[in-house]
A and B are shown apart, each in its own frame.
Chain A
């Protein structure tokens, strides 16, 4: 237990599973041939002020906002595109079309631009203006669906378009695409194991497409079945944790397999929102509401462990930055001084 109470992750030796190759991949290149090489290998940061509340239990968070597109979604989008190119599903004359509530769209747009692949996105018209603008800035075609129908309405509309023009579109469907969770099985999971020197005891994160929690949990369980992997869902269908899914009232993502998870946390919107504010004020981390929900969930787990007098290393995910949710600042292309 003493090892778990150590505050620096360098205190214990690397486990065998955190192989030399993983360590090699952990460094972000100081120079890259393309922006896509900067996806993944994100830093792990200690939430040292928040985990003062939970003596003996450390809370660490993956800084997924450090991806070039600003969110965890870069990982899945890159892997989805790489795998589709390898299979020949994406070929000249074919556009990638998917439904997205925002971050995946930005990720597709950035990677599509870098690799020369045209992108079309269906999104509910009530997603924030900055994200409509940032995807359009990459040259992406935007198609809007009914705001009253939410992200499921966008999925339905995307499917209709693909059925109508199968020769025009490749529809990766992030909710059903194994490349989504594999990006985390091969990336996020090994990175967490190596960055904690194998000390991770709990992985806690929210469920959107479920790619992050499925892939990372499968990897961590394969390494050590005792690592507890816990999902987070909004506590109600009517919620404000953007990016997270309330599965009982949703179309269940085909890649989601509840049996992978050891437990579930039902997160009230207010608890997640309040934690987002706390992270900015206490840790210098200005993150979005899903990240707030994730840390609130991690703190619940840490409190429970600490309350029982147990140690632990709880890892969660900071999905994106808070400024992504600001009201739009108009981007002036022509400055007048």
Chain B
């Protein structure tokens, strides 16, 4: 299972967890599993059409998925997927 790093403003969906282990062979599949495990979180990351919101960046390892295959980007079991707000706005 991949490790997903959760940014502070989304930790209310993960009971405060900074990292969760999620299965899925692509970023899209990981987000689906993430939503199943933590309902409500996906809507904060993706828009109505399912695309990643403009102000959210997702990294697989060190690479921004916008420069890879977006939601089709492959995820391996030992990968770290980071969800990072595009900005450093106020959050606790």
Residues on A facing B (Cβ under 8 Å)? 101, 123-124, 126-127, 147-154, 208, 234, 236-247, 249-251, 269-270, 273
Contacts and interface: CB of A to CB of B under 8 A. Distances in A.
A127 B89 contact: no
Nearest to A125: B88
B16 interface: no
A147 B87 CA distance: 9
B88 A147 contact: yes
A238 B56 contact: yes
Interface of B: 5, 7-10, 12, 18, 44-45, 53-56, 82, 84-92
A238 B88 contact: no
A245 B89 CA distance: 6
A250 B8 CA distance: 10
B52 to A, nearest CB: 12
Given A101-B88, A246-B89, A148 B5 contact: yes
Contacts of A245: 89-90
Most buried by A among B55, B56, B87, B90: B90
A234 B88 CA distance: 13
15 contacts: A101-B87, A101-B88, A147-B88, A148-B18, A154-B88, A238-B7, A238-B10, A239-B9, A240-B85, A242-B88, A245-B89, A246-B91, A249-B91, A250-B92, A269-B54
Contacts of B54: 240, 269-270, 273
A140 to B, nearest CB: 17
B55 A239 contact: yes
A184 B56 CA distance: 32
Given A239-B9, A239-B89, A242-B88, 11 more contacts: A101-B89, A148-B82, A150-B91, A238-B44, A239-B55, A240-B55, A246-B91, A247-B90, A250-B90, A251-B90, A269-B54
A215 to B, nearest CB: 19
Contacts of B45: 238
Contacts of A249: 9, 12, 90-92
Contact of A237 (B9, B53, B82, B88): B9
